[in-house]
Amino acid sequence: MRDFSLDMYRELLESLQAKGYEFITYAEYCKGEGRKAKGDKYIILRHDVDAKPLNSVRTAQIEYELGIHATYYFRVGKTSNIPDVIRKIVELGHEIGYHYEDMSLNHGDMEAAWKHFKTWLRYFRTYYPVETICMHGAPTSKWDSKDLWKEHDYKSKGIIGEPYLDTDFSDVFYLTDTGRCWDGYKISVRDKIPVYQDLWTAKGWVWHTTWQLLRAIEKNQLPKHVMITTHPQRWTNNAKSWYEERISQALKNMVKRMVVMKFGPEKV
């Protein structure tokens, strides 16, 4: 079984369920649903649909079969925003949110970005009553879209949470497959949690492959409260797509390393 295959993804979810973890959406976390989890063990399952949206239908179907509800964040571009895909994922019982990158798309123009945000939030709400949003990292852009909230308030638009801003990371451990591995935060430009990442590393909560992560789950080494972020474009059983994604991500990781080396991890 290849790492980052759909078979491996199912294995990961089933292993977590077998260890007593309950799965909640990000909106449910914001509403305090995690406190109701049996055994006080829960996974906030989040997906960033950056590309290959049909892959997201496949992960959403696996989750549906396992009785899991997750959160899927969609970008505005055609590599993500496919109406039939969004409708299908809603039909399968998942939460939909806006994967915003308004500052990047509007070249740092704060007012244009705010107008763009409101327009696209209304658009995604035609499919689902969107309550949460999540920044798209846009590693090649100099603009951090979270900067929009220095002058505007997303909660004024009925948004109850943004994962990077409204999650208590002193209580919730963060795992992301950014970089097509589970320790890609080391070279990530924005998909990382400053300060806490160092504390988690000091505790030994670092795994590179899904195989290593599965062994940690089996040995009960995973914390009780976890947010898992995946990018479904990485997960496939198609051999050709699997190798293409592996090569593409290796090249992207090289660029990320150069950015981190040039500016330093504290500046990116």
pLDDT tens, residue by residue, 161-177? 999 999 999 999 999 99
Residue 268 covered by a domain:
no
Residue 1 covered by a domain:
no
Helix (H, G, I), strand (E, B) or coil at 74: strand
Does residue 195 surpass a pLDDT of 50? yes
- Predicted local confidence at residue 258, as pLDDT: 59
Residue 102 covered by a domain:
yes
Give the residue from 21, 31, 57, 61 showing the smallest Cα distance to 132: 31
Separation CA 225–CA 228 (nearest Å) = 10
- Predicted local confidence at residue 256, as pLDDT: 58
> For a pLDDT cut of 90, what percent of the chain falls above it?
77
Across residues 1-10, what is the average pLDDT?
96
Residue 74 covered by a domain:
yes
Residue, of 264 and 193, whose pLDDT is higher:
193
- Predicted local confidence at residue 264, as pLDDT: 54
72 — pLDDT class (breaks 50, 70, 90) = very high
Does residue 179 surpass a pLDDT of 80? yes
Give the residue from 94, 46, 98 showing the smallest Cα distance to 77: 98
The DSSP string of 119-140 is HHHHHHTTTS---BEEE---TT
Q: Show the tokens assigned to 249.
A: 């991500």
Residues 6+ apart with CB under 8 A from 32: none
Domain assignment of residue 66, given as a range: 6-263
The DSSP string of 251-262 is HHHHHHHHHHHH
> Over the stretch 207-241, which tens digit does the pLDDT of each residue have?
999 999 999 999 999 999 999 999 999 999 999 99
- Predicted local confidence at residue 267, as pLDDT: 41
CA 154 from centroid of its chain's CA atoms: 19
Separation CA 33–CA 27 (nearest Å) = 9
Lowest mean pLDDT among 49-63, 75-89, 191-205, 225-239: 191-205
Long-range contacts of 63-67 (CB under 8 A, 24+ apart): 63/13, 63/23, 63/92, 63/94, 64/92, 64/93, 64/94, 66/10, 66/13, 66/14, 66/17
- Predicted local confidence at residue 260, as pLDDT: 54
- Residue 44, domain CATH: 3.20.20
Residue 159 covered by a domain:
yes
Residue 196 covered by a domain:
yes
Residue 252 covered by a domain:
yes
Residue, of 198 and 43, whose pLDDT is higher:
43
Does residue 141 surpass a pLDDT of 90? no
Number of domains forming the structure of the chain = 1
Residue 254 covered by a domain:
yes
> Over the stretch 239-248, which tens digit does the pLDDT of each residue have?
999 888 888 8
Lowest mean pLDDT among 19-28, 120-129, 136-145, 199-208: 136-145
Give the residue from 121, 119, 97, 116 showing the smallest Cα distance to 105: 116
- The reported pTM is 0.92
